[in-house]
Amino acid sequence: MELAAEAISGHPARHRALIALRAAPSVVLVLSAAVIVATSPGGHFGLALAVVPFLAAAVHGVQATALIGALTVGTYAGLRHWQSEDDTDVWLIKLGLMAATAAVAVLISQARVRELALNRSRDTALTLQRGLLPRDFPATSAAEIRYRYVPADTAAGVGGDWFDVIPLSGARVALVMGDVVGHGLHAAATMGRLRTAVHTLADLDLPPDEVLARMDDLVVRMGHDEVGREPGASCLYMVYDPVAGTCTMGNAGHTPPAFVSPDGRVEVQPQAQNPPLGYGSAPFAPVEVSLPEGTVIALYTDGLLDLRHREADDAVAALTALLGGGSPSHSRYGNPNDNSDHSRLPGARGAHEPAGPGPGADSLERMCDRVYAALPPEHDDDAALMLARTRVLDADHVADWHLSGQPEEVAAARSALVGRMEEWGLGELAFTMELVVSELVTNAVQHAAAPVGLRLILDDALVCEVSDASSTSPHPRRAEPWEESGRGLFLVGQLADRWGTRYTPTGKTIWAEKYL
């Protein structure tokens, strides 16, 4: 009722109604006492005052209820003067009953206030979490995305489950799934901090193991700042490359991903022995797998497995059966005789683009629906599922050249670039990208080590990548007017829409994108 009162307090008429509602218990107390005094009943009509504390408990907080209850008991004691009843023992019993009703009303008011506080905290945490989670994913040619998210159905509040899809350079994409320890507003706020950190680290083009190592340091610092709270979060960070068809992943104590091959076979990645984030100094060795085109990558949280009520092996087996096309009734995810309507669960659903009529889009939707429908009606942990169907860029959209690192090859690189862009029908951008390639290849020849590689990727943007064997990253600087050099990267930044550097096991790659 207090929540409703807050919602209507802005309107003058409703504000007056709210004041009258809050004054109702006191008015009833005064009127009841006046009626009893006027009629001078000789029976037990005075006990009608016992309803006043309960009325106060339904309207006021604990302190106001206790005050009105005390006034009610005092009023009943004062009415002794007008009552014709001479039996003191009976009157004392009635007075004790009146005091007991006032005490019970205070307890009811405490329970009601606590329930309102829990509901307000849960609603706030749920609003915060839904605001921090992505509503939609950016379109990417690397994978088709579908997801489901179901908040916990418990008084403890929502948890810290989160997921994300982050476009990277070179047409790659990062798939992220995490789970923060605990429930409530703190878990949702921690989830938001970790998601922001992942976006920042992904923008630096760091490999999965380094992303998790830096996030581990962040969680450790958060634990030092918040004394008394248990730090910890699990995270799975995957980078899929549609050019090479490979997926590199790092796991920090999270549930392992599942891979559904185009022929329907389901394989679960072996559980990594890495601890969750927050333990410090833990190595997160990356794992690389090759995936055929059309493979579905399934990322999920432990709430989807319902591990509090089932063995881990049984839960994983049930999930793989559902992902492979099995019916929920054939798994231990649901009771085969349960005909309850699971659609009442408040599950979020989404994709990076509207579901189309194609079989691939429908297949992902059906897979999500099968897993979603198998959730138990009551669950005490958040459940998140994200499916990504991989795509591979064909050879017509990728061009590679290997250079020996000699200065005369800069002109050959420009010529090869212009010729391929003419084939792709992008002649109007040839001059701009020719300048970009000229600067990047020249820097690689003069300041880095051979071999030098040049790669063009035709995607939603035209991506130019220059690789070399040096691990030294160049930094743009603002050259003075009298200086003859130092403007190369500044020029690249002005001509390209985005550019950056990522490190590889053999050196580094400098990339630049021009939006089409």
Phi/psi of residue 507, nearest 5 degrees: 155, -125
Q: Evaluate if residue 349 carries a pLDDT over 60.
A: no
Mean of pLDDT values over 274-290: 84
Specify the pLDDT at position 175: 95
What is the DSSP code string of 261-307? Answer: -TTS-EEEPPPP-PPPBTS-S-----EEEE--TTPEEEEE-HHHHTT
CA 103, CA 70: separation in Å to the nearest integer? 9
Compute CA distances 464 → 214, 258, 406, 419, 497, whole Å.
28, 33, 20, 14, 12
Q: For residues 506 and 231, which has the higher predicted lDDT (pLDDT)?
A: 506
Out of 172-186, 230-244, 366-380, which region has the weakest mean confidence (pLDDT)? 366-380
Mean of pLDDT values over 140-162: 77
Specify the pLDDT at position 303: 81
Mean of pLDDT values over 399-422: 89
Q: For residues 341 and 326, which has the higher predicted lDDT (pLDDT)?
A: 326
CATH of region 133-390: 3.60.40.10
pLDDT tens digits along 172-213: 999 999 988 877 677 777 888 888 899 999 998 999 999 999
Tell me the percentage of the chain whose pLDDT exceeds 70.
76
Specify the pLDDT at position 328: 44
* CATH 3.60.40.10 domain span(s) along the chain: 133-390
Mean of pLDDT values over 299-321: 81
Specify the pLDDT at position 238: 95
pLDDT band per the 50, 70, 90 thresholds, residue 289: very high
Nearest to 514 by CA among 441, 454, 465: 465
Q: For residues 244 and 231, which has the higher predicted lDDT (pLDDT)?
A: 244
Specify the pLDDT at position 288: 92
CA 24, CA 30: separation in Å to the nearest integer? 10
Q: For residues 220 and 120, which has the higher predicted lDDT (pLDDT)?
A: 220
Q: For residues 175 and 343, which has the higher predicted lDDT (pLDDT)?
A: 175
Specify the pLDDT at position 119: 78
Specify the pLDDT at position 462: 92
Average pLDDT over the chain, rounded to an integer = 78
Specify the pLDDT at position 39: 66
Rg from Cα positions in the chain: 33
Q: For residues 247 and 308, which has the higher predicted lDDT (pLDDT)?
A: 247
Mean of pLDDT values over 355-360: 40
pLDDT band per the 50, 70, 90 thresholds, residue 455: very high
Q: Evaluate if residue 279 carries a pLDDT over 50.
A: yes
> Hey, which of 16-25, 92-101, 146-155, 402-411 has the most confident mean pLDDT?
402-411
Specify the pLDDT at position 391: 93
pLDDT band per the 50, 70, 90 thresholds, residue 463: very high
Mean of pLDDT values over 280-306: 87
Specify the pLDDT at position 356: 39
Q: For residues 360 and 136, which has the higher predicted lDDT (pLDDT)?
A: 136
b/e map 191-206, b = 16+ CB within 10 Å: bbebbebbeebbeebb
CA 305, CA 255: separation in Å to the nearest integer? 9
Task: Tell me which amino acid residue 302 is.
Answer: D
Specify the pLDDT at position 154: 59
pLDDT band per the 50, 70, 90 thresholds, residue 144: very high
Mean of pLDDT values over 67-77: 79
Nearest to 241 by CA among 170, 335, 140: 170
Specify the pLDDT at position 97: 82
What kind of fold does domain 396-515 have according to CATH? Heat Shock Protein 90 (3.30.565)
* CATH 3.30.565.10 domain span(s) along the chain: 396-515
3-state helix, strand, coil in the chain (%, to 5): 45, 20, 35
Out of 41-45, 259-263, 397-401, which region has the weakest mean confidence (pLDDT)? 41-45
CA angle 55/60/65 to nearest 5° reads: 70
Specify the pLDDT at position 482: 65
Q: Evaluate if residue 392 carries a pLDDT over 80.
A: yes
Find out whether 420 and 399 touch, Cβ atoms under 8 Å: yes
pLDDT tens digits along 472-487: 877 776 766 665 566 7
pLDDT band per the 50, 70, 90 thresholds, residue 457: very high
Specify the pLDDT at position 345: 30
Residue 29, both tokens: 């107390």
H/E element, 326: none
Q: Evaluate if residue 324 carries a pLDDT over 90.
A: no
Q: For residues 352 and 200, which has the higher predicted lDDT (pLDDT)?
A: 200
